[in-house]
Amino acid sequence: MPLFFNPLHPLTIVATVVHNIGVLVHLDGADASNDEEAIAEDMAIVVNRGVIEQVAPSSEVVDEYGMEAVEEHIMFDAGGRAVVPGFIDTHTHLLWAGDRSQEVRWRHEGKSYVDIAQLGGGIASTVAATRASTPQSLFFRGVDRMKTALRSGTTHMEAKSGYGLSTPSELDLLNTMDRLNRESGLPSLDITWMGAHDAPPGATISEYTDALLSDQLPAVLDQGIARSMDVFCEPGWFSVEQTSDLLTAGKKGGLDLRLHVDEFTNGGGGDLAVEYRVQTADHAYHTPLETRMAMTEAGVNTGYLPGTPYAMGDAFPNMSEVVDNELHFTLATDFNPNCQTLSLPFMGSLMVQRAGVHPMEALKAVTCRAAATSPHPSGLEHGVIREGAVANLNVLASPHWESWSLQPSHSPVWSTMLEGEMIQHVR
């Protein structure tokens, strides 16, 4: 019987020593004013049974373990490459079926998100295709997508339901994610129920909100898979009042709270995030600066999803004011039918090369800061490289750690250690 919901996979029977590291960005003490405190050189890492056992100068580790692999441990030569923590994707819509490629033409013809929904596109189109898929086919889609994410260095993902929009379909999606979370060799999952993504065909938002409260949420709580809930709080979808009712019920049921807010206009979602002190309020492109400052004051993370404005042709948020005002933020892919990327390095590239964010700020946003909003299923720390944390790390293909955010078209990762297992990527 496993000790954890998704235990660390016991793949590493002997210790692994990662040595000959060029630069180690461990992010231990990453919130210090001096980022140099989060970087070290000439270090080695000892991993045992999926957990970091020791981070020490190479000379100390080599003196203890030698340079040759023996029965008790194996040696991994990083070849002078930079090493950073495993990447954490805190906002994905992992499981869905269908193809909405035609919507790009509609957008070029000037149609809005609401217009496309009225044409039979949007979420309703994906819901129909997802409902028509079997759990097994969705499972294999999930495996393929998680492998793609892993290839770009992602070791943990938050994953939402939300393309079933009926109690049976939503429970099936959560069950499939639970099954994926038990597969070895894939990023771990932090599972979120998002039945409140949109209203299903034939129902109004008001009618569906009543059904969510009376039927779907109790069933989700009985199922016991989802750790969190999320609501699409936006004018035209779930109002502030409806979202409040859902958050109150979910919190009473023991779910952690997340929100989609102010993606298209300032609809008051940021203020609601402050009131409920949700873990993270994502998108927030139209949330006023003073509200985002209040969010940070209340301990609410702002989740920026640069792939969405990139895919939709919209402007990026003003990241200078975000950094200048020391707002707490993360970066994530928002993988969905209209934003089909699972590459956090691509998100880093967009922010660093297009929005003026320092590469260290962007790296924190997909590692240590991201971990604060999406815990590892084992309960152990992740998003950093220090003793006692989950052994999730990336060996980059460069001696320079900044390279993690400078290769938008392909992965900058040479190999990934996933819960103690070193995975060599094909280059």
Residues 146-168 have pLDDT tens digits of: 999 999 999 999 999 999 999 99
Same domain for 348 and 392, yes or no, is no
417 lies in the same domain as 332 = no
214-223 long-range contacts, Cβ below 8 Å, gap at least 24?
Answer: 215/167, 216/166, 216/167, 216/170, 217/193, 217/246, 217/249, 217/250, 217/253, 218/253, 219/167, 219/171, 220/170, 220/171, 220/174, 220/193, 220/195, 221/253, 221/254, 221/255, 223/171, 223/174, 223/175
Do residues 177 and 203 both lie within one domain? yes
The answer to whether residue 33 scores a pLDDT higher than 70 is no
User: Residue 383's beta-bridge partner residues?
Assistant: none
Number of H helices, E strands in the chain: 16, 18
In three-state secondary structure terms, 251 is helix
Quote the pLDDT of residue 8. Answer: 47
Q: Residue 53 contacts by C-beta under 8 Å, 6 or more apart in sequence? A: 15, 46, 47, 387
Confidence band for 10, pLDDT divided at 50, 70 and 90: very low
Do residues 33 and 176 both lie within one domain?
A: no
- Counting the structural domains of the chain, the total is 2
Single-letter residue type at 153: G
Rg over alpha carbons for the chain, rounded to the nearest Å, is 21
Alpha carbons 64 and 372: distance in angstroms, whole number: 34
**Domain encompassing residue 242:** 87-373
CATH number, domain with residue 226:
3.20.20.140
Clarify whether residues 52 and 156 are in a common domain.
no
Find all residues with CB under 8 Å of 3, minimum gap 6, and list them. Answer: none
- Convert the pLDDT of each residue in 223-241 to its tens digit: 999 999 999 999 999 999 9
Q: Are residues 165 and 216 in the same domain?
A: yes
Task: Tell me what the mean pLDDT of segment 253-258 comes to.
Answer: 98
263 and 346 both lie in a single domain: yes
What is d(CA 258, CA 265) in angstroms, rounded to the nearest whole number? Answer: 18
Residue 308 sits in the same domain as residue 415: no
Task: Say yes or no: 166 and 282 in one domain.
Answer: yes
**The two three-digit tokens of residue 46, written as one number:** 């000892």
Question: Nearest 5°: phi and psi at 194?
Answer: -130, 55
Burial class (CB in 10 A: 0-12, 13-18, 19+), 324: exposed
Residue 247, pLDDT > 90, answer yes
Pairing of strands 393-396, 413-418: antiparallel
158 within domain boundaries? yes
Give, as one character, the DSSP assignment of residue 351.
Answer: I
30 pLDDT higher than 80: no
Average pLDDT of 336-355? 96
Counted residue by residue, the chain has a size of 427
Q: What span, in angstroms and rounded, lies between the C-alpha atoms of 358 and 167?
A: 43
Q: Would you say residue 276 lies in a domain?
A: yes
Residue 1 lies in a domain: no
Q: What share of the chain is helix, strand, coil (3-state, %, to 5)?
A: 35, 20, 40
Q: How many Å apart are CA 209 and CA 238, to the nearest integer?
A: 8
Cα distance between residue 148 and residue 85, in whole Å: 18
Model confidence pLDDT, tens digit, residues 361-403: 999 999 999 999 999 999 999 999 999 999 999 999 999 999 9
CATH code where residue 19 lies? 2.30.40.10
Which residues are within 8 A (CB) of 365 and not within 5 positions of it... i.e. 6 or more apart? Answer: 304, 329, 330, 331, 351
- Same domain? 393 vs 263: no
Residue-averaged pLDDT of the chain = 93
Do residues 369 and 387 share a domain?
no
| pLDDT > 80? residue 11 | no
